[in-house]
Amino acid sequence: MNQTIILNNSMEMPLLGLGGYRIGEQDAPAAVETAVSSGYRLFDTAPVYKNEEYIGRAVSRCKIPRGKLFITSKVWNNAQRLGDVEGALERTLERLRLSYLDLFLIHWPVPGCYLNTWEAMMKLQEKGYVRSIGVSNFNSHQLKEIKESFGIYPAVNQMEVHPLCYPRHLIEFCQSNGIAVQAYAPLGRGAYLDHDVLCVMGIKYAKTPAQIGLRWAVQKGIAVIPKSKNKEHIRTNARIFDFSIDPEDMALLDKLNEDYHTASIPEDLQDVITYADLTR
């Protein structure tokens, strides 16, 4: 049901996962349980979401063997500045109750830090604490810098992608260089769910606008991590592998791009990174 994508280190990553931002202590058990029973195997969290502990506890109770789950977390900006990547990972693993992560991402490209962070992450991968390493919110120049410095591209670039935010050049750059694109805010945090084009297409395919938006991404080979704490949303967001969108409708959806970003750049990076920077 839940298809996968092969990363540049031959590891498999599910195309669908549950986004963890704003899933708190109250909601995590039911959200994770519903997700698991709906076929989700990937769970995305981060120290800055302050819920690794709750996601970890819920995942530990889900009765799916560890090897069949895919757990992602990230290193936040403060740990990058302090050069404390290993310590940050240790704390993340402790909170998640895990001995390894499937994917460890640099959450934001902190200027002057991200190359050192990447080097530290490569060592953690060698030691077996993380299976795959990747980045988030990186532009093509920053990705090339990693390749030039270390000889390899990140396995994943997690970035904002949905029909109203379609950074086509960056996606093409990633995909042509074997970097898997994982879409965050793939529902645009609700921004396109009442858009006429998606509503009309929803009727045509007997799907919801959310399913159309998610399908549009996975049909391009882009992984998606919609967040929901609502059981019905979690279930319906998973039903995106049983239909396909016609090429002419895909082209129509491609044209909806407004460079509309939902996620905000952290305050401590605003002076040095703009959204234009991120999509170069």
Please report, as ranges, the residues that interact with ligand NAP according to CB under 6 A: 19-21, 44, 107, 136-137, 158, 184-190, 193, 208, 210, 225-230, 233, 236-237, 263
Smallest gap from residue 238 Cβ to ligand NAP (A): 10
Smallest gap from residue 203 Cβ to ligand NAP (A): 16
Q: Calculate the alpha carbon distances from 271 to 74, 253, 274 in Å.
A: 22, 33, 8
Of 21 and 100, the one with the shorter C-beta distance to ligand NAP is 21
Smallest gap from residue 237 Cβ to ligand NAP (A): 5
Contact 17, 43 (CB under 8 A): yes
Of 148 and 199, the one with the shorter C-beta distance to ligand NAP is 199
Task: List, by residue number, the catalytic residues.
Answer: 49
Of 62 and 247, the one with the shorter C-beta distance to ligand NAP is 62
Which residue has its beta carbon closest to ligand NAP?
19
Of 56 and 188, the one with the shorter C-beta distance to ligand NAP is 188
Nearest residue to 278 via CA among 134, 157, 124: 157
Residue 209 CA to residue 192 CA, distance in Å, equals: 8
Smallest gap from residue 183 Cβ to ligand NAP (A): 8
**42-44 and 70-75: which strand pairing?**
parallel
